[in-house]
Chains A and B, each alone.
Chain A
């Protein structure tokens, strides 16, 4: 009997292995992250597909050229749907391309792309953040220049959207969407605290938070498990205290962190923590959990990127959309800042590896793909379009429309701190931000640490 069971188990194992192999050969169509491709029969990639670049020569006519891409549009990512639709559409335009793509979780992706760059094993096309993040790769000579390709799209892609991906006067990235940091409010919870509108200035925000606490509602949720989420709170507070120019000076133009107003802003953030405005449970949670807490009505406000409009519009079968409003963080020091000074800008970008054997073809594909992702991403509410919309936008969700109104009145943008600063400066910056949220550094400690570690 034992032998029969052992034989049956061995058979199951062999069959399952054979099943895995078949899935790999056929492209594992069940894996939506790795679906490809051209309209016809060509196969989609598997997650185990090689990361190396294009393989097949295209000159033969019938033979397909394999183009590979890595991105962060995993199934739980707001942009996933836009990527799937865009890839399907663009693959149909390139019937001679066998497009294989792989989506990797955000933080893992940063590690993977850095290692791949070092080993010259990057895919043909890769997702990147603009400004210093892409700039580090450009400086290493790892990125293909897109001037020739993008010149064909000058009427659809405004030059103003290319500023963050232009280095030494040359274009190295295809922007998809642009996003800002915004304050989302659950109006049902605000109403329970006696507020029928979102706070319009800083004093109102503080009063509103006090009222929420009195009503037993936690005002803010912030994911301490992912330090970039803490920057989504701290950076707007610093910006609305010291102004865009001063913050941009620190992030991009080499100004020192030794600025008393920065210390004041950090102390403001900590005052809000001390008063109990932040959900203590968020300290160790990842962003997805904190966002879900906001949707579930545990916290009244959630400050994060506007790509979340897509998730909020779909949450609870669309019911949550009616409850939520979006605004910008109010001005703290009106002598230095004003409404319309925003954190964000065109950051999500596609770039092409300089080492790609089919870089020219990959560049054309990336340009079309960037345009299509922008199109579907905008329709889904994943951000505002970096490309000029050429389609019907009447069905855009009201949150994204509200974000576009905020951007219409924008005075200036400062790109996200972990993207705007070089990789070397980013590390001590994020460490110091985490210490601020953990109450280990106050304002003076924050500027002292960053003054010695960065400038």
Chain B
């Protein structure tokens, strides 16, 4: 009996040891598989963020010379009129608001229309998506020609119809119209992108749901409102996050309009960042970078929170 118990104990110990070794082996395998992604994540995302935070506490008048440690002074200086960061943030927020309240409803409308399965669906899909495929530089140059105060199509149209009210300096140079003139192509360019995301969502909604609603006598508008849109809420959330963070980071198209000009009515944080980093204000540029990261994260968290499912009684 005693021998049997002893043998059983040995058996159990052996099994446990094998299990421990297997677990260790599995853990090692998982770590090894995760290592490349982790290295990329740390090297490409985390390290630059930490580096930017570090740089933002120094002067960095030249690239290879950190200069004096200034603590949070760069952040305080950012809100000084001299650096125009506050105005740039306001512009970026206006762009974000326009994206959310004009661009996304347009995209949603197009997605719902095409998702219904109209004739020539593929053709329209390609046409609306085309601006996304064109380089921002090309779009910028195209719209610059449209806005040209001498030969632009808008100027010529005003001349043709004998209309007045177009600023002689052009829409891009007039302080009242420049902001909206720059933002129109920025918004126009990505309507197709969000439309495609939402279109995929619409197509993913079960046709039975749509048919059931129709059988119950729902109109197209009611089907969209009560069936399709609630079903694609996760896609809409992603689109809103992309639209807002994209607006806060917008650069390329605006740079094409800005060229080397300064003191523009449509300056955005990225434009200032690049100007300051190459204009011997590396510390200020890093502080802008950190602020942009914080803003993007904050908006992403806020939108996630706003879209969180809640029960009708207000508790989670």
Contacts and interface: CB of A to CB of B under 8 A. Distances in A.
Interface of A: 107, 110-111, 114-115, 117-119, 136, 140, 224-228, 280-281, 283-286, 289, 293, 298, 423-424, 426-428, 430-431, 434-435, 438, 440, 453
B172 interface: yes
A228 B280 contact: no
A285 B281 CA distance: 27
A253 B170 CA distance: 40
A318 B75 CA distance: 56
B261 A434 contact: yes
A114 B261 contact: no
A140 B263 contact: no
Contacts of B276: 427
Contacts of B173: 224, 280, 283-284
Contacts of B169: 280-281, 283-284
B150 A293 contact: yes
- How extensive is the interface on chain B, given as a class? 20 to 34
Contacts of A424: 61, 280
B119 interface: no
A420 to B, nearest CB: 16
B150 A423 contact: no
A280 B150 contact: no
Contacts of B150: 281, 293, 298
Contacts, number: 82
B278 A111 contact: yes
Contacts of A293: 150
Contacts of B65: 140
A280 B149 contact: yes
A140 B67 CA distance: 13
Given A115-B278, A289-B148, A431-B262, 13 more contacts: A226-B259, A226-B261, A227-B262, A281-B150, A286-B259, A293-B150, A423-B279, A423-B280, A427-B275, A427-B276, A431-B263, A434-B262, A435-B262
A427 B280 contact: yes
B62 interface: yes
A226 B260 contact: yes
Given A281-B169, A424-B280, A227 B260 contact: yes
Nearest to B155: A281
B63 interface: yes
A46 to B, nearest CB: 20
Most A C-beta atoms less than 10 A away, residue of B64, B178, B275, B276: B64
A453 B82 contact: yes
Contacts of A226: 259-261
Most A C-beta atoms less than 10 A away, residue of B150, B167, B175, B257: B150
Contacts of B64: 118, 140
B168 interface: yes
A107 B260 contact: yes
A225 B278 contact: no
B138 to A, nearest CB: 16
Contacts of B168: 280-281
A115 B148 CA distance: 33
Most A C-beta atoms less than 10 A away, residue of B259, B261, B274: B261
A105 to B, nearest CB: 10
A9 to B, nearest CB: 14
Contact of B263 (A117, A228, A281, A438): A438
Given A281-B168, A283-B170, A430 B262 contact: yes
Contact of B62 (A140, A283, A298, A440): A140
Nearest to A111: B278
A284 B280 contact: no
Contacts of B172: 284
A227 B264 CA distance: 11
A427 B281 contact: yes
A136 B278 contact: no
Contacts of A114: 63, 278
B280 A440 contact: no
Interface string B35-66: 00000000000000000000000000111110
Contact of B170 (A117, A118, A284, A453): A284
Contacts of A284: 149, 169-170, 172-173, 178, 257, 261
Interface in B272-297: 274-276, 278-281
B139 to A, nearest CB: 17
A76 to B, nearest CB: 14
Nearest to B170: A284
Contacts of A435: 262-263
Nearest to A422: B280
Contacts of A119: 63
Nearest to A117: B63
Contacts of B82: 428, 453
Most A C-beta atoms less than 10 A away, residue of B175, B260, B275, B281: B260
A224 B170 CA distance: 12
A136 B170 contact: no
Contacts of B263: 431, 434-435, 438, 440
Contacts of B281: 427
Interface string B61-78: 111110000000000000
Nearest to A424: B280
B13 to A, nearest CB: 59
Contact of B261 (A136, A225, A280): A225
A167 to B, nearest CB: 16
A416 B105 CA distance: 51
Contacts of A117: 63
Contacts of A228: 260
A285 B172 CA distance: 9
18 contacts: A114-B63, A115-B63, A226-B261, A227-B262, A281-B170, A283-B169, A283-B170, A284-B149, A284-B172, A284-B257, A285-B149, A289-B148, A426-B279, A427-B279, A428-B82, A430-B262, A434-B262, A438-B263
